[in-house]
Homo-oligomer: A and B are copies of this chain.
Amino acid sequence: MKEFELIKRLIPGLATNKETVVGAGDDCAVLDVGIAEKLLLFKTDAVVEGVHFTRDAGWTRVGRKALSRALSDIAAMAGEPISALVTLGLPSGFDFKNVEEIYQGIHERAALFDVSISGGETVRSTQGLFISISIIGWAPRSRLLLRKNMRRADALFVTGELGGSLTGKHLDFIARIEEAKWLAEHFEIHALMDVSDGLAGDLQRLMEASGLGIELLAEAIPVSKEAKIAARRGGPSALQRALSDGEDFELLFTVSASKAVELLDAWKERFPGLKLSCIGKVVAEKGIRILSKKRGPVELDCDGYDHFQ
């Protein structure tokens, strides 16, 4: 959580200008560049060896992950990606063949969404490889889905299944660009973000941005098969893993409760292969509480951890 603390302290002092609609603190920065119907999204995201991947993943998958994470930030604004730049930090003696494989992975994901890779640079890295991706995209001016737009009594939804991403999904996922665009076009979504730091941590962000609280239904949280298998081997429960593993890159959003059923029905028709779960609701009282049949309400801390264990 250290990063969030650091960022929180820095944000109030960041330089702004007349183009800046949203600076730091949401999934992307949003800039008004004078186009009537659109706003420019601007984002950077890095993966670091030993932190976000290890070499045994294979370099193509590392490339996929690097671009997909940035694409997921564009998805989190229901945006359309345009172009990305790639900064490679290469340890000395790094094989060019591996660089080609990294680019192969990047290109695989770029091709899915017609994103250009408009250059970048390579720098020496004193230890370990890193890939920093900068990306720009468009968001519809009339449907800017900021975290702070969450409203009291909204229904809270999440796509896919959560937890256990480290077994492979964190490398191979496809950013939910299409799904987010469809959502923004067909429903009046209030707040949208991607689940990157674990459901509990990301809900904390929604909460802080909106000043509202969240009530989760434990039984409604979509726990992945991978989280269940891992839990059977010991350690945290499957639900705990779904709450805190992170790197799910699913969409987390809120919509008026009155639209919840209609949305679920339309979703099933449009994306029959992808689960959509209503996992709780937005409440006035701050904090994240999780309700289960067995235990009643339990307060979650920002890691989704201690209080629940």
List B contacts of A136 (CB < 8 A).
31, 40, 42, 136
**Chain B min CB distance to A284 (Å):** 29
List B contacts of A125 (CB < 8 A).
48, 130
Asked if A121 CB lies within 8 Å of chain B CBs, one says yes
* Cα–Cα distance between A119 and B51 once the two chains are bound (Å): 21
**Chain B min CB distance to A5 (Å):** 9
Residue of B19, B103, B134 near A116 (CB, 8 A) is: B19
**Cβ–Cβ contact A123 & B51, under 8 A:** yes
Residue of B25, B50, B117, B127 near A23 (CB, 8 A) is: B117
What is the total number of copies of this protein in its complex? Answer: 2
| A126-164 near B? 1/0 per residue, CB < 8 Å | 111010101010000000000000000000000000000
**Cβ–Cβ contact B96 & A24, under 8 A:** no
Chain A stretch 86-136: residues in CB contact (< 8 A) with chain B: 86-87, 89, 96, 99-100, 103, 107, 110-111, 114-128, 130, 132, 134, 136
* Cα–Cα distance between A134 and B118 once the two chains are bound (Å): 13
Residue of B7, B96, B107, B128 near A127 (CB, 8 A) is: B128
Asked if A46 CB lies within 8 Å of chain B CBs, one says yes
Q: Given contacts A83-B19, A83-B20, A126-B127, are A44 and B134 in contact (CB under 8 A)? A: yes
Asked if A14 CB lies within 8 Å of chain B CBs, one says yes
Q: Given contacts A51-B124, A89-B48, are A83 and B117 in contact (CB under 8 A)? A: no
**Cβ–Cβ contact A15 & B132, under 8 A:** no
Q: Across the two chains, which residue of chain B brings its CB closest to A114?
A: B17
Q: Across the two chains, which residue of chain B brings its CB closest to A113?
A: B17
**Cβ–Cβ contact A31 & B89, under 8 A:** no
**Chain B min CB distance to A256 (Å):** 29
* Cα–Cα distance between A46 and B33 once the two chains are bound (Å): 25
Asked if A16 CB lies within 8 Å of chain B CBs, one says yes
**Chain B min CB distance to A271 (Å):** 25
List B contacts of A235 (CB < 8 A).
none
Asked if A34 CB lies within 8 Å of chain B CBs, one says yes
Q: Across the two chains, which residue of chain B brings its CB closest to A96?
A: B6
